[in-house]
Amino acid sequence: MPRQLILDLLPTPAPSLENFVAGRNAPALDALRQCTPGRAIYVWGPQGVGRSHLLQAVCNAYEGIYHAPTSCADQLHELATGDVITARVVAVDDVQLLDEAGQGALFALYNRWRETASTAHAFTIIVAGDHAPMAMEVREDLRTRLGWDLVFRLEQLSDEERARALASRAAERGQVLSSDVITWLLTHHERDMSRLTALVDALDRYSLARHRPITLPLLKDLLATDQPEENDSNP
């Protein structure tokens, strides 16, 4: 099988509310599913808990506006000070990485959200960061606004929750993941659930293409397919 196939088998799935494994984060997921205009939601937690996934998923679901920390602060400021915000959702990710101009723009956006919260132009503002609101190292007036409405701490999934999620994903595709396959995935592969889920899907397709059951040797065979051939570096 060509080495390129592994890349085709492992597309990064688009973030969605459906492919987010909630675990103990079900309350946050439920709040984001409802996404009522006029609400503000702040989610926080360490890297890898799915903050960006959730913000992008909500924007994908409701055709919202997603602002990454690498985006231009001017765009956020124009959004906050423009005539009308037509989007149902505005999401601002990694607030801890915003520079002074970005923090000022987000402060203006919060003020705009509050002014329109009970009007026909209401929108939902969703912000994510790596610490609780009052522990964020941002300007004081912005720090207080982060906690204005709903605040959720996102928890890491336990290995047991990851294992159940992977087994469930395989079962949905009519496959069974043995305990040794799951253990290997959790101890040797990246822990991001969206990538692990994509790998399970790829493993299912690889199994069907090779007419072989899913085993640990098959998994290693799939992953080894992406290793460079010995003569790749030859001129």
CA distance 146 to 176: 44
pLDDT value for 216: 93
- Alpha carbon distance 96, 76 (integer Å): 15
pLDDT at res. 202:
87
Residue 115 identity? E
Q: Which pTM value belongs to this model?
A: 0.78
Strands, sheet with 89-92, edge to edge from the N-terminal-most edge strand:
65-67, 89-92, 124-129, 40-44, 150-153
pLDDT in tens, the chain (235 residues): 444 455 455 555 688 898 888 889 999 999 999 888 999 999 999 987 889 999 999 999 999 999 998 888 898 999 899 888 899 999 999 999 999 999 999 999 999 999 999 999 999 999 999 999 999 999 999 999 999 999 999 998 888 988 988 898 888 888 889 999 999 999 887 777 777 888 888 899 889 889 999 999 999 998 887 544 444 434 3
Q: List, in order, residues 6 or more apart from 44 with CB less than 8 Å away.
A: 51, 128, 129, 130, 131, 132, 133, 151, 152, 153, 154
Three-state DSSP state, 41: strand
Predicted local distance difference test score (pLDDT) of residue 13: 66
For residues 144 and 35, is the Cβ–Cβ distance under 8 A? no
pLDDT at 229: 40
State the pLDDT at residue 189: 79
**What is the full DSSP assignment across 82-132?**
SS----SEEEE--GGG--HHHHHHHHHHHHHHHHHTTSTT--EEEEEESS-
Structure-token match 């959730």, residue found? 54
What local confidence, expressed as pLDDT, does residue 233 receive?
39
Q: How far is Cα 90 from Cα 124, in angstroms, rounded to an integer?
A: 6
